[in-house]
Structure 1
Amino acid sequence: MLDTWSLRVLAEVAEHGSFSAAADALTMTQPAVSRQIAALERRAGVRLFHRHPRGVVPTAAGELAIGEAREILGRLAALEARLGAYAQLRGGQVRLSAFPSANTAFVPAAIRRFSAAHPGVEVGLVRGGPGDVRSGAVDVALVTDWDLPGDGVELVPLLDEEHRVALPTGHRLAGRTTVALRDLRGETWIEGGHPDCLGPLTALTRALGGPPRVGFVCDDWTGKQALVAAGMGVTVVSTLAAAAIRPDVVLRPTSPALPRRRLLAAVAPRDRRTPAAAAMLTVLTSLAVGYR
């Protein structure tokens, strides 16, 4: 099998027109270059150069071999350059998945910060979860401890989210600094998609004397806020979504306090993690500090 060094020697001999000049360019001796070409000819079973007193001239077979050698060497050089850019975050991509409340402000801020630091890396926000991290389809997946994945991914804690009740500004309880959950027993509740839902908040069920009376289901945070603002019901809002709350909706802590929800980043183990995924994890970890 031909090796890349032999191809480079072949290309240099063709470029310089003699074994001695190629030897100088390659920091080799002239006999070593001659032996390398002779070995190539034996392997190929055909003469590649006509030897003359003042140099060498490629044969027809040699012209073919030289063209192929230059193309292969060029492609290898391009591959090395691309891998170098990938390792040094001058190129490549990172694919991030999240859930709606994380996408209101936290994820856009992370993408903006990452792109400013690594403009050559393409960032994609895609649908997926921890299973897609295991398969390699997603590089970083934001998840909560309400729905932890199995083996095959590493979970990095980012922050513990608080939950507050969202009320329209004109609500009878909006002026209070803390809202007693028992005072919400007669309210209509607005449910959302997992994990942006009323969720495993058993304290809420206990305080209400039973499950919340759900009148509306809306997965979209914009729609949920609009329903609250219109006085159609109340809902629970996490720390991440609170950053994007509209002005005609107020958030109030509750008594008793609703349990917190942990936000984590699911990533591949270190030995399989891409440089871009590691860099995105650093950005997410740094950004989460501001939410604590």
Structure 2
Amino acid sequence: MTDLAPHELRILVAVGKERGFSAAAGALGMTQSAVSHSVRASERKLGAVLFDRGRAGATPTAAGERALAHARRVLRLLEVMGAEVRGVADGTGGTLAGPLRIAAFRSAALHLLPGVLERLAARHPEILPEVRIVREVGRGTAGEVMDGRADLGVATIGTTSPVPPQLVGGVLVEEGYALVHPAGHPSPRSLPLVDWTENCTSYTRAWWAEQDWLPSATVEAEDDGAVLSMVSSGFGMAVMPELSLIGAPPSVQITDLGPERPTRSVGYVTTPELARSLAVRALIRELRASVR
């Protein structure tokens, strides 16, 4: 049995965050030797080297990254346990209070979360949402949850990016894609195609490959906002999901792609443990209500 105390986990997390023993010691109000001693003791208990030491500081090894993910999740569960137990003990039945960490991709953070958080705050004013915008590429928002940096991630879910086996989640909405082009352009399909990296993780590629009129993207922008700006200025056309098109300017025209249009599933992911916590359950209820 691995016997690491909470203070040892906090030291590991601090070293991982600060990327150095001295910086972690400063953040924790400890001496560097005490931090180094604690990390060495944790490494002995776990039977693995957790950090590569060098002039550049301390870089987590592969084993260290896994240990940090578990450490963050354990510490977060201890926080949740304290808040919920105190709520039961004081007779409130479990007052929802404290931080609620959310990772979301850009369009969800801009257009889905504001209304959700407004209603959540009205019902549970002591919850303090912390939203981080995370690019939905690679491990995306699900990776933030697995690594213990977020309690819940708003994610794209589907056959090419299913809910990871370590997490639980569900689909909130199936959003369609549309052709977006400069308003009034006589031949929008003749324009260059503008795309962005996150769009590559959607489930449009097979559909795109079947469209003879749709060229390969010749311009890749940083995010969907930049794509929309380029289209608005007459630079090109794009195929974009509905969330990205909320509040589109009148200088762009949105054309339906028909019943065979591509779609993507937007949902949520969390850990099995946090899925049972009061705050995450309340957030999921508001997310589901927002798309009814």
Q: TM-score if structure 1 supplies the norm length? A: 0.60
Match of 2:117 among 111, 116, 124: 111
* 1:217-261 Cα distance to aligned partner (Å, 9 max, x none): 113333211100111111112121222212211111114632211
Q: Offset at 1:262?
A: 0.9
CA distance 1:83–1:259, change in 2 (3 Å): farther
* SS in structure 2 at match of 1:286: helix
Q: Which moved more, 1:146-155 or 1:93-102?
A: 146-155
Match of 2:181 among 152, 167, 181: 167
CA distance 1:256–1:187, change in 2 (3 Å): farther
Q: In 2, distance between residues paired with 1:247 and 1:92?
A: 41
Partners of 2:180 and 2:240 within 8 A in 1: yes
Match of 2:217 among 214, 239, 242: 214
* SS in structure 2 at match of 1:94: strand
Task: Give the counterpart letter for 1:87 in structure 2.
Answer: G
Partners of 1:166 and 1:228 within 8 A in 2: yes
Match of 2:170 among 156, 159, 162: 156
CA distance 1:171–1:122, change in 2 (3 Å): same
Aligned to 1:7: none
Q: Which runs of 5+ in 1 are unaligned?
A: 1-75, 175-183
Q: TM-score if structure 2 supplies the norm length? A: 0.60
Match of 1:100 among 88, 91, 106: 106
Q: Offset at 1:286?
A: 0.5
Partners of 1:162 and 1:260 within 8 A in 2: yes
Aligned to 2:209: 205
Q: Number of paired residues? A: 200
Q: Offset at 1:204?
A: 2.2
Match of 1:275 among 254, 258, 278: 278
Q: Offset at 1:95?
A: 1.0
Aligned to 1:4: none
CA distance 1:169–1:83, change in 2 (3 Å): farther
Q: Offset at 1:195?
A: 4.1
Q: Offset at 1:202?
A: 1.8
Partners of 1:164 and 1:238 within 8 A in 2: yes
Match of 1:262 among 256, 261, 265: 265
Q: Offset at 1:207?
A: 1.5
Q: Which moved more, 1:274-283 or 1:95-104?
A: 95-104
CA distance 1:273–1:198, change in 2 (3 Å): closer
Q: Offset at 1:123?
A: 0.2
Partners of 2:87 and 2:94 within 8 A in 1: no
Task: Give the counterpart letter for 2:104 in structure 1.
Answer: A
Aligned to 1:147: 161
CA distance 1:226–1:135, change in 2 (3 Å): closer
CA distance 1:171–1:82, change in 2 (3 Å): farther
Aligned to 2:148: 136
Q: Offset at 1:82?
A: 9.4
Q: Offset at 1:199?
A: 5.5
Report the RMSD for the aligned CA atoms in angstroms: 2.8
Q: Offset at 1:206?
A: 1.3
Partners of 1:131 and 1:149 within 8 A in 2: no
Partners of 1:165 and 1:254 within 8 A in 2: yes
| Larger Rg, first or second structure (1 or 2) | 1
CA distance 1:196–1:142, change in 2 (3 Å): farther
Q: In 2, distance between residues paired with 1:103 and 1:241?
A: 11
Aligned to 2:194: 190
Q: In 2, distance between residues paired with 1:97 and 1:83?
A: 31
| Larger RCO of the pair (alpha carbons < 8 Å, separation 6+) | 1
Q: Which runs of 5+ in 2 are unaligned?
A: 1-81, 135-139
Q: In 1, distance between residues paired with 2:104 and 2:185?
A: 32
Q: In 1, distance between residues paired with 2:168 and 2:201?
A: 25
* SS in structure 1 at match of 2:248: coil
Give the percent of matched residue pairs that are identical in Structure 1 and Structure 2.
Answer: 20
CA distance 1:80–1:149, change in 2 (3 Å): closer
Q: In 1, distance between residues paired with 2:118 and 2:274?
A: 27
Q: Offset at 1:198?
A: 7.0
Task: Give the counterpart letter for 1:288 in structure 2.
Answer: V
